[in-house]
Every structure is written in structure tokens, then in C-alpha cells.
A and B are shown apart, each in its own frame.
Chain A
Amino acid sequence: MAGVLVAGLFPGTGVVSAAEKRIEFNRDIRPILSDRCFYCHGTDANQRKGDLRLDARDAALEALAPGREHDSEVLRRIFSDDADDVMPPPETNLSLSAEEKEMLRQWIAQGAEYQGHWAFQPVVAPPVPAGPMVDGHETGREIDAFVTARLQEDGLTLRPVAAPARLLRRLSFDLTGLPPTPGEAEAFASAMASVAADPARRQAVVAAEVDRLLASPHFGERMASDWLDVARYADTFGYQSDVAMNVWPWRDWVIGAFNENLPFDRFITWQLAGDLLPNATRDQQLATTFNRLHRQTNEGGSVNEEFRVEYVTDRVETYGMAFLGLTLNCAKCHDHKYDPVTQRDYFSLFAYFQNIDESGLYSHFTDAVPTPTLSLATPEQEQARTLAAARVARAEAELTLERNRRRDAFEAWRAAAVPPGEGVWPEEIGRFSFDALTDGTVANALNEAEPGRVLDDVALVPGVRGQALKLSGENNVSFALGGKWTRDDAFSLALWIKPPSVMERAVIFHRSKAWTDAASNGYELLIEDGRLSAALIHFWPGNALRVVAREPLPVDAWTHVVWSYDGSSRAAGLKLYVNGREAGVEVVRDALTKDINRGGEDRLTLGQRFRDRGFKDGMVDELHLFARAVSPYEAAVLAGRPLVPPADPSAEAAGLFDHFLLAVDAPHREKLSVLRTLRQARSAAGDALPEIMTMREMAEPKPAFVLARGAYDAPTTPVSARPPEFLAGIEADAPANRLGLARWTVSRQNPLTSRVLVNRLWQSFFGEGLVRTPEDFGLQGALPTHPELLDFLAHRFMESGWDFKALVRFIVLSRTYQQDSDPPPDLRALDPDNRLLARGPAFRLSAEQLRDQALVAAGQLNPAIGGPSVDPDQAGRRSLYTFWKRTMPDVRMDLFDMAKREVCSARRPLTHTPLQALTLLNEPGFVAWSRRVAEAAAAEHPDDEAAAITAIFRRLTSQAPTDRQLAILRQLRTEQAALSGQDGTAASLAGLQAVAQAVMNFDASVMKR
């Protein structure tokens, strides 16, 4: 009997007595092969020894010799006594037990049949074992049928239903994360008492209670708690710093989705690919923040691409664990050793998750939100911004019309115009000839009060006219002028430059704090791969405009360059002129929607930038600054091209009309000034509005490759986006983007997702899943304790339209769930881990639940739902809202095994340590709450010690004390009152507080049983 029981209890662990059953590959053999053999004889071709693979029958046939055990090389090797011959080889530190060897022998004798891995087989509804409904449990009866059928094999039955108080506590924590109030407990107890004799009516009472809890807004909070672990939700970026990430609006969306019972296939689809849905709503886009919750770095000197790859990697691995229940991590560097996941599969998933315009670093020096982002403006704010933008658009259209209306004025002016020449141009605000250095400054010919400042000796060398600057790459010349230009200002710079060689990268001028450390926020003119590159940037690359000249910059020759920007925030409004002619440019980005003035000093700097490559050995001469866009005509004149007199017929072709409009014509210039004001108003309405990181697919997918050994700088074979090949294929016409992946994920083709989700929910209620490795449904993972039940639930979940609340209801209304959790001693001995489910669940409350229970008991819980995360010491908000720091998590919650939230986690360990005891006994919060509990009880029952103690006990354990417990606590109260050194009411209260403390530390309060 015991042998049979153990065999059934621990399928696949090798303790089955082989003589008793036909060997079954998935249950008996695969765990052995996977654990001891596949490392060298499995899927990874690079690791394979002796050209033998045992993971596929065809390939293994010769070595196995099915049915011919005496010819079997596999058997000969595993039974060998020769250290050089035996398998596994001694140096692997692996070995086979005698039972395992015998099992392999029998399996080969019986024909060495293989089975596909259970979790990769389609989900098919299994037949439900026949049997009577148990105790009126109509809903959930199939669960009871599967569990009972299994129990009957061992002559066991379900335990009785838990007492009402215990059952309600279990239901309340499982469905809301909160204990029942004393009122709820009383009402439930009396309702149950009134129907005690009638199982069906009892069930109706429980069902009504369950429906009440499912309708509670705290249901969403409770379910979100689990989901936040999977989603590695935290309030700070992590890596090195606890800089706020501001993603709580996504958390609130999750709570709402659970409360509204958003069908789970949509819950998944929105999070993976909400941005790709047609006419995506704000919520659908917000859901995709799921993919941006990974850690991000701002560590100076980090390689952008290295960390971008890390982020995409995290998305892939989170997807794998959250939805496929697979640990894909191994396959980043090589084919998976145990599971059929190839490195190619890994990077085919990678291809889905990398197509957003993102940076590998978040901005250390500014608070700009890493792109891509979604605006979180309120409807009123959004309306105000839209209105302001519409005003700008109208003024821009008006300006185009105005242009044509000014032709007559232009012709009149042109006839009389004096040729522009060496004098000062309108709105030219700075002119620097760089002919002399005086006390670390260079003179401004137009304004003595605004010279340039020289940092570290800059050399003067003969230039285009007089002297010029020669820069070292480390030194610079900077100006207050130009330091405050915004994206709404039109501004221009003209200068001569002489690069010494074809420069891969060099900063000519900029206004910004830094390159990657500030996401380049500001404006900049660079040389990139020998070409001029001009940009205005809020957060590079996703919120910026950049144009790059098509022609390379001449080398070792003086070239005149003009940057002319019209204040439009559009790439078309930024023009480059090279030697007086407009340069053809490629528009690299054209998506600037926010300010460019964050971080750093308000100075325009020539030749160098923090942690960027300076204009080493480059020369600069004759810098002019303009507080407006300059015309092609002026650009030509500044470059020293022959002046075309205005009256000359060819002058118009040279851009004279633009010159007239920009620099001369007062009515037009007045309209430009109005437009600038309107643009400023639009920015004022929009720049400060909150944003959140989301996914937004780029128009063109980024090329994806297998990265050798997973290294960011080692791309090899190109790959395209597709799900792992060993799982049933995606439909041919599915889009090769995240939406295609999401639809495949929730399709019937995918055997894993519904199983994985059902299993995690089961784990949430029972402490352990039906598969006890929720993060690994692969070959090394645990086999399900109740495979048919798992498949039944997974199938039913999909059939129901992924109705999550219905699934919850179905499970908690089962007789199996409602069992009492105290087993008779022999059952505990036989099944210490409750694999058979012959009793109800019993495990410690989570970190959040322990704190929330104390808050409720103290009457200090603020039941508000959602909002920004909070300092837990400041407010009686639920623990779900504790501002979660990745690098220094709240020590109290950390001690109670709260998930770290650095990476996706499918379960928390549950430990019991002395440090937890010290926390519950001495932590100021718990101490204060125990005092409040005591005070309330004393106020309610001023003259009845027993009643006061009972009230305390009820508040903290959701049940009444037994006589024995009450006696112990009364003694404690008396002793502690005496020891308190106080008298009268104070002593009495001190005694009651000690009672509250003791109960708060008592098993019945710490555990959910």
C-alpha cells in the first residue's frame, strides 16, 4: 500500500517500483534522461557528445535497441562498472540510482516508446471521471471529480469543509487580499449556521459570499499583486539607482482590468500589442507599458547598444515565463540544453520585441521619459493642447497665404533696395572673429557684454579671416547667447569649420548637458561618419528631429556651414547650407514634440561635450548668431559667394524673396512673431504633461540577428519574427509583429498559455501549482500532479472566452478548495506537501497581506484604489501601493519574501525566519497597530476583559479564540499589566496591547489555513 501510494505521489521522481506498472515515458523516463543525459545527448548540437542524441527516438534507436536489451549500448554503458565506460561519466558528478537503471532497462525491454512532452501537446478536454457531486458542490464539481478519482486510488477522501470562519478568511484573502471584517464574519457564520444541514443551501450561501468578494474593487488589487510579480513591476528603474519610473498608471489599469473582468485573452493581447490594434484606445496603448517595466540603466559610460539588447532580452524572457511558462534565458547564448528551444527561436522572439524607438540608457541629467511614450494628459489638458496646436496650424497656413500677398511689397523694396553687405544683419546677435583671446574670452563684435568663454587653452591659428580657433577635442568655447533658444524660437548659426580628417564622430556645437547621459536633450551640430548631422532633441531617438547631409564634408579644407531653424519643430524647418548652398539632407527623425531645454547650463558650446567626442584638431572661424532663420540669400553672402544685387533678375533664384520676408518685411515679420507666441503657448500647454513609457511599433522593423553567445556586438545569421519552432506554427498570414505574436499566444495553436495561467491561479490559492515549477513547463520542470485536471481547467478557461472571474469562481466553489486544512497525522506523513489535495491549503500570508491585515485590524486602512505609489510610513494605503525600490526594497516586505521585481517572477519563496519574528514583534508600525487594536477593543469592552481579548483575537485571526487560547491570553494580559510598571487603565491597556502583539505573532494570524 505505502509503495503504491508513494509511487503515485511522486510520479517521475524515480521511486516508483518498476515491476508494478508499465513504464510510461513522460512519467518515468523523460525526467531521468532530461536530468542526467540530455546535457550531452540532447538538443544542443554544439554540446553533443559521441554524436548521440537521446531526445528523439529515431536518432537514438541504434543505441537503445528497443526490445533487445542485450544489444543495447545504452544499457551496457549505464550498467558498466568501468569508470572510463560508464554513463553518465563520473566527472559530470551525475549518476543513476539502481531503481533508475532498472526502470530504463524495463523501458527498453518494453520497446522504448517515446511520448511528446506533455506541455507541448494541444490542450484537449479530458473526460471527467464519473462520480456523484460532493456535498452539493455543483460549481467546481469537475475539479472534485478529478481530485477524488486520484484520491480513491489510495483509498483517501476529501477532508470535511473548513469551519465557516476559516473558510471566509481563506476566501477573503484569496479574493481581496484582506481579512473579513468582524461584521462580515458574523453574518457569514450565522448564514452558514442557518443552512448547516443542507449542502446545496450551504453552497448557495458560500456562492453569494464569493460573488460579493468578486464584485469588490479589492478583487482587482488582489489579482494585480500576483500579476505585478510576473510583470516585474517596480517604481524605480533599478540597476544602480532608485530613480522613479512613474509607471503606476499601468498598475492602475491592471487593477481595473481585473475588476472589469476584461477577458484574459484581451488582457494579454493589449499588454503585448495594444498599440498595434486598429484605432488603439488609450487603455490599449497604456497596457503595453508591460513591456517597458524592465530595469533600465543610467550609469555613465554604459554602451547604449549593450543595454538596449539587455532590455529586449528582458522582454523576451518575461514573455517566455509569463505566457509560455518557459525559461528561455539559456537559449540567448546557445541552443537550450534540455528544451527544444533553439538560439534561433530566441532571437526570432527578440525580433518581435525590439521595434521601438528606444535608447539603451535613460536620461541621467534630465527627467525626460524614455521613448516611446504615451501622453497621460487629462481630457481637459488634451483638449487645451489640441486647441493650442490648432491655433499654430491656422497661423502657419495663414503665413503661407501671407507670403504670396507680400509679392508686391517685395518688388517695390527690391527696386529700391541697398545691397546687403558687410554691415550688421537684422537680428544678428553675435559675431565672433576669434582673432584674439583676452582673459579667457573671445570678443563679440556686436555686444561687448556677451563675449565667449574659453575653457582650457584654445589655440589661435591663421584662419579664413585673421585668426581662427583650433580645438583639442577636450577644450571648448561657450556662449550665453544661444543657450536659451527653445524649439519654438527661430535661430541660426553660421561659421567656418575645418575638420582635420574624415571624422567618425565630432561635436561642432551644441546646447545640451551630455550625449547618452542626457538622451542628448538640446540642439546639436555633429559630424557623423564624415557628414554634417543636425538635430533638436527632447529624448533621443524617439522624440527628436535630425537631418544628415547627403554629401560628405570636405576634409582639411575650410567649409562654410549655416544652420537655419525656423522654430517649427519639424525637420523641414531645419536647413543646412554648405558653402552658401542648401545641402541635400536625409531626414533621420522627424518627431519632436517636447522641449529641448532640460539639464545642464544654458550655454551654446563649440568643440566639446561631456563624454562625447570633441572636434579634435578641428578649426572654427567667423561665428555669427541670429535670432531668426536666415535665408538662402544670406547663407550665400555669409559664405562669401559673389553678391547678387537685389535688382538683378537672378537674385530671386538666390533666395532674395525669403530674405525680404525673414529680415526686412515688417508685416511678415510681425506674423512670424505672432506664430512664435502661439507655438510657445502650444508648448506651455503640452511640454509639462505627464507621459508614460509604452510600446509604439516603428514603421520599419529593425533587422534582427542571432547574436553569437548572446553578445550585443556579435550579430550572425539574420532572423525574422516568429514563435518558437517546436510549438505549433503561427498562421502564414499573421502579421510578423507583436500583434501576430499576441494572437498566436492566445490561440488554440499554443498549448502553453492557458495551462500556465490556470496553474499560477491555482498556485495563488493553494500555495503550490498543479505544476510545481510555474516558471518551467519544459522538460526539466515538474510534471503536473493532476494532469487531466490542469487540462480540463485550461480548456474550460479558453472555452469560457477567457473569463477570469468565472475561473476564480469555479475553483473556489469546488469542494476541493473548501476542505479543511488540518490533516490527520497519517495523511501528513504520507503526503507532507499536499500533492494529492486531500486537504485544504495552508500557507503564510504574503508580505502585503500581513501588513494589510494589521492595518485593517488597527482601523487604519485607507481603502482608496490606485494612484501614485506611496511611502508606506506615510499613509495607511494598501501594501500594493508601497513605492517599490529595486535597489533598496522596503526591508519589512523584503524580509517576508516580497518579490524583488528586478526580473519576472512566477512565484515567491515562503520562508520563516527569526528576522520575521523580530519584525512582527518590534517594527514600529506593527507595534503601533497592535496598540490601536488594543485601544479599540478596550473602548468597545471597557469592563469585560474576556470580550476585549476575544475582539482582538477576532480582528487578527478572523475567528474566535478557543477556551484554552482565551485562558492563555487572559493570563498574558494579567502578567503584562503587572510587568508594565503602570497601574489602572494604563496597565490594563499595556496588558491588552501585549495580547494584541502576541496574537499578531500567533500562527493563526500569520497563516492562511
Chain B
Amino acid sequence: MTPIPPFPAPAAHLTRRHFFSRTSLTLGGAALAHLLGRDAALGLESPAVAGRGLLGQPHFAPKATRAIYLFMSGGPSQMDLFDYKPRLNTDNGRDLPDSVRQGQRLTGMSANQATLPLAGSAFKFARHGQAGHWISELLPHTASVADELCFIKSLHTEAINHDPAITFFMTGAQIAGRPSLGSWLSYGLGSEGDNLPAFCVLVTKGKGGQPLYARLWGSGFLPAAHSGVKFLPQADAVPFLKNPEGVSGPARRQLLDRLAELHQSEYERTLDPFLNDRIAQYEMAFRMQSSVPEATDISGEPESILDMYGPDVRTPGTFAANCLQARRLIERGVRFVQLFHQDWDHHGGLPGAIRSECQQTDQPAAALIKDLRLRGLLDETLVLWGGEFGRTAYSQGKLTAGDYGRDHHPRCFTAWAAGGGIRPGVCHGETDEFSYNISRDPVHVHDWHATILHLLGIDHERLTFKYQGRRFRLTDVHGKIVTPVLA
């Protein structure tokens, strides 16, 4: 994979040489998969952990073999979607009691507000499914799959501003430079298929709100091959996938054949196995030129499936299209698909704004669950939904009849999980009457990460990478598996 790996080790290189001695004559799938991340740890492990961190297979039998993370960037309001708090309506307009706030720091946006008036949700709540989950009227489709879902109402984080908070959720640290969740999975598990990257990223097109940045799916100090590959909503979803204008498929094939010949002749002269690696690199690129368009072409999807995701699904780059895309990618062996949907940062005008986000996301998210269930894939696919923090019980800015805003709130918020290894119907954790503090079973971001890795067969304490003299983990030195949500 890399001729000069950052942490070379004798044992790893023996393995690497053996690898090539076995595969250099045939450029089969294994060698190609190697390029996309499978066995990518080869040659990169420090001697001290060789044989432990290198995951030829998961640490233990995984409950899920792949995952889709529907990340709601900006911080959706838990008390307008899932965390039903009638007390906020009863006390609408009254100041948040000091006994509840307990001196908790606020962001600079509302810290200086003259009053902190409680804002009841403008939306009706009802219980759904046999589990009786409370779900807001904003999410009728999600409500229809309530019994597939497990809610965690007691997530909490340490950061109060978007950048550190989202970086924390995506990489396990507030500061830049750590590998993202998907990169860890790619590094630990590789890809299941041979033709697509192990870790793909889909961003809802044309959204405003808080920005996203490459760091959120970057590989940090892991090799760059473990970075998420951002799929764009167009025919060549991967950068520079299409042949240049005027270059036909057969012409390209022939060019690659001659290029391989050049490399082969160089190999014969030098016997440098790296040249075989390079040939494989180009073969893989060639295969991606067909595998990526195949994966992203939804023209073969039946109407009934498209209808399930809703009308937006026909517009590339919408959340609906991305949900369908996510299913197609994991079907083809992609290990981890990370979706981002921005614009949940509703400091003001929340009732109108959140309605619009729900309209864009509710039906597709529910359809993804149903679709996976239909195909028998849900049991082995972990689906996650949530943002980087929650929102305040009090109104940021003016509270008027029917209108309010909510500031960032790191102390409690709701996420849901479904599919592989998740116990459906469970509601884990509770908040107080104001959804301001957690009253039972807090789940920290590190716990959330530990649980995700666990479901994918990884012991979060054992998936490590040695860098700058220490072993790094996604969960740093923290993280407890949230066992009550496990099936």
C-alpha cells in the first residue's frame, strides 16, 4: 500500500512480502481490495501491537457488518421531536429555574440574554408502536417504524459550539487531527467488497447552516486511504471518475494495458513488488469507473421502492436520494456510509425551520429502515440518527405565540439507532421535566462510539493506532458500552 509506511515493522513486512509473493502473479481481488483498505493495516502496525490491533477479522462475532449514520448537523431540537416535555408547555414563558440550570455555561449567543423563557413545543406528541415511543407529529413516517427503533434520550457531549461538537462526534476528540469514525472502521475492518471504497460520504446538496469540512470524514493520522470518499450527486460521483472527453472505454482500457506493460517491464528489471501494487492501483481505478456509476445509478430501482423514499428521491443529492444511495452502497460491500444533513441549527424561527428539515428527512429515513428490512439487510446493518448536541428548553431570542428559537444544549439530547444488534423498541435514558438535565442513564459521546464499534465486532479498547508515541483510540481512554440497547 505504501512503500515507506510510517511505522514499519519486521513482522508486518514479512507478512507484506508473503502477501505479494502469493498475489503478485495474479492481480486478483485480494490485491485490489488491499488497495481500498482491506488489510490496510499491513505494514502499518507497530511491532508492539502487531497481531492485536491488526484486524484480519473482528475481535468477536459482529452483530452488524456495516453501518449507515444519518448525521443531522446543527443539533436537532430533542423536545420538538422525541423528548416529550409537557411541562414546557405548562410553564411556557416562565424563566428557566436556576435550580435546573445550576450555573451551566451557555453559549455566547444566549449567555447575555435578559431572560431565559421556557418554550413549550409547538408540536403535538403521541405514542407510537407497541413500544409506545413518544414521537412528534413532525415525524409521521419515523413513527410508522417506531418498533424498529431504539431511542437514547440521554446522550450528552462536552462541546457547546458546532465546530468542536461535530468534530467530537465524528472523531472522538474536539480538536482537529484525529481519524473519523468511518476511518477507524475502514482501518479496522476494511471493505466487504472489492470495487468500492470502504467508507463513503454523502452530503445533502444545497443546504445552508453550519458548514461541514473534510476533517469530519478525514483519516487523521491513519493512512489517507482510510479517508471517507465523498460521493457527489452526479454521474461521476467520485472525483475524476470519468474518462476525459474524447477518450473511449476501449481506448482507456488499452492505455491501461500498455501502462501495465510498462510497469511489468520495470518490475522484471527491478523485481520491486511495489510496481505490482501500482498496476493493481490502476486496475482498481478502472474497475471503479464502472462500479461507482453502477452503484449510483438508480434507474433499475422499482417504482415501489422509489415511492417509499418519497418524491425527492428522484433528485440527486437530496436526503432521500442519499438514503437510497446508502442502501445501494452497503449492498455492494461498503463498510460505512456517512450521511450529513445540515441546517438543524434553529436559533430562531424554530417551528417553521424544523418542519422543513423534517419534511426532507422523515420519510427517507423511515424508508431506509423499511427497505433494509424488506431485503433482510436490517439485521446486519446498523442505522444511526442524531446530531452533535441538543437544544435549550428556553427560547433564544423572543418567545412569541407560536414562535421561538433554541440555543445549543450539550447536556442532553436524543438519538436513535436501529438494525444490527440493536434491541428495538427500547428507550434508554431519561431527562428531567425540562429536558435540561439527564435524570437517568447518561450516555456520553465516547459511550456511543464504544457501542457502535462493539456492534461491528470491535473492542473499542483494542482498536488502536500508535502515533506520536502513544496508542490512540476512537474513544481515547473512555467509553462504556451501553448494554441495555443491545439485542
Contact = CB atoms under 8 A, between A and B. Distances in A.
Contacts of B17: 829, 832
Contacts of B269: 822
B224 A990 contact: no
Contact of A923 (B3, B5, B105, B240): B240
A928 to B, nearest CB: 9
Contacts of B244: 921-922, 924, 927
Interface in B252-303: 252, 254-255, 258-259, 261-263, 265-266, 269-272, 275, 277-278, 281-282, 284-285, 288-289
Interface in A974-1009: 975-976, 979-981, 990, 994, 997-998, 1001-1004, 1006
Interface in A881-932: 886-889, 891-892, 894-895, 897, 900, 902-903, 907, 909-919, 921-924, 927
A980 B246 contact: yes
A969 B10 CA distance: 38
A93 interface: yes
Interface in B7-48: 7-10, 13, 16-17, 35-36, 47-48
A474 B113 contact: yes
B211 interface: yes
Contacts of A972: 254-255, 258
Contacts of B213: 240, 886-888
B4 A911 contact: no
Interface in A189-246: 238-241
B211 A240 contact: yes
Contacts of A613: 111-112, 114
B162 A240 contact: yes
A653 B252 CA distance: 94
Interface string A128-153: 00000000000000000000000000
B102 interface: no
Contacts of B241: 918, 922
B390 to A, nearest CB: 15
B210 to A, nearest CB: 7
Contact of A473 (B16, B114, B270): B114
Interface in B435-466: 461-462, 466
Contact of A915 (B160, B239, B397): B239
Contacts of A1003: 262-263, 266, 275, 278
A956 to B, nearest CB: 12
Interface residues of B, number: 89
A481 to B, nearest CB: 26
A772 B468 CA distance: 11
Given A297-B163, A338-B469, A919 B215 contact: no
B372 interface: no
Interface stretch (A6-14, A527-535, A594-602, A644-652): A6-14
Residue among B9, B261, B288, B462 with the highest chain A CB neighbour number at 10 A? B261
A911 B225 contact: yes
A969 B261 CA distance: 10
A979 B251 contact: yes
Which of B47, B275, B468 counts the most A-chain CB atoms under 10 A from its CB?
A: B468
A330 B470 contact: yes
A872 B260 CA distance: 30
A300 B108 contact: yes
A411 interface: no
A768 B7 CA distance: 11
Given A909-B224, A914-B288, A919-B240, A456 B398 contact: yes
B285 A614 contact: no
A773 interface: yes
A472 B1 CA distance: 64
A586 interface: no
A968 interface: yes
Contact of B461 (A93, A302, A505): A93
A339 interface: yes
B214 interface: yes
B10 A301 contact: no
A299 interface: yes
A965 interface: yes
Contacts of A994: 251, 255
Contacts of B206: none
Contact of A998 (B107, B162, B242, B262): B262
A918 B108 contact: no
A998 B2 contact: no
B281 A914 contact: yes
A363 B50 CA distance: 48
A14 B47 CA distance: 9
A516 interface: yes
B484 interface: no
B215 A902 contact: yes
B161 interface: yes
A275 B377 CA distance: 64
Main secondary structure of the interface of A (DSSP, over half): loop
Nearest to B114: A473
Interface of B is mostly: loop
Contacts of B5: 833
Contact of A912 (B48, B248, B266, B277): B277
Contacts of A301: 107-111, 160-161, 407-408
A968 B260 CA distance: 10
Contact of A894 (B160, B214, B284): B214
B252 to A, nearest CB: 8
A915 B272 CA distance: 22
B4 A767 contact: yes
Interface string A9-43: 11001110000000000000000000110000000
A948 to B, nearest CB: 16
A900 B108 CA distance: 29
Contacts of B1: 911-912
Given A825-B271, A902-B177, A922-B241, A10 B10 contact: yes
B52 interface: yes
Contacts of B277: 912
Most chain B beta carbons < 10 A, residue from A773, A822, A915:
A915
Given A833-B13, A972-B255, A909 B113 contact: no
Contacts of B259: 998, 1001-1002
Interface stretch (A446-454, A714-722, A775-783): A775-783
B162 A299 contact: yes
B239 A919 contact: yes
A518 B18 CA distance: 61
A914 B259 CA distance: 14
A152 B278 CA distance: 34
Among B112, B177, B211, B261, max chain A CB count under 10 A is at B112
A407 interface: no
A295 interface: yes
A773 B469 contact: yes
29 contacts: A10-B10, A93-B52, A301-B407, A473-B113, A505-B112, A611-B108, A772-B7, A776-B468, A776-B469, A780-B466, A781-B469, A829-B17, A887-B213, A894-B214, A900-B218, A915-B240, A916-B281, A917-B281, A918-B285, A921-B285, A922-B240, A922-B244, A927-B244, A972-B254, A972-B255, A976-B251, A979-B251, A994-B255, A1002-B263
> 8 tightest CB-CB pairs across the interface, nearest first?
A473-B114, A780-B469, A301-B107, A887-B213, A613-B112, A917-B285, A301-B109, A327-B468
Interface of A: 6, 9-10, 13-15, 35-36, 93, 238-241, 295, 297, 299-304, 310, 327, 329-330, 337-339, 456, 472-474, 505, 516, 611-614, 616, 767-768, 772-773, 775-776, 778-781, 822, 825, 828-829, 832-833, 842-844, 886-889, 891-892, 894-895, 897, 900, 902-903, 907, 909-919, 921-924, 927, 962, 964-965, 968-969, 971-972, 975-976, 979-981, 990, 994, 997-998, 1001-1004, 1006
Given A302-B108, A922-B242, 19 more contacts: A240-B163, A301-B161, A301-B408, A327-B469, A474-B113, A772-B8, A891-B239, A894-B214, A903-B176, A909-B6, A909-B223, A909-B224, A911-B223, A912-B35, A914-B284, A918-B241, A921-B252, A922-B240, A998-B258
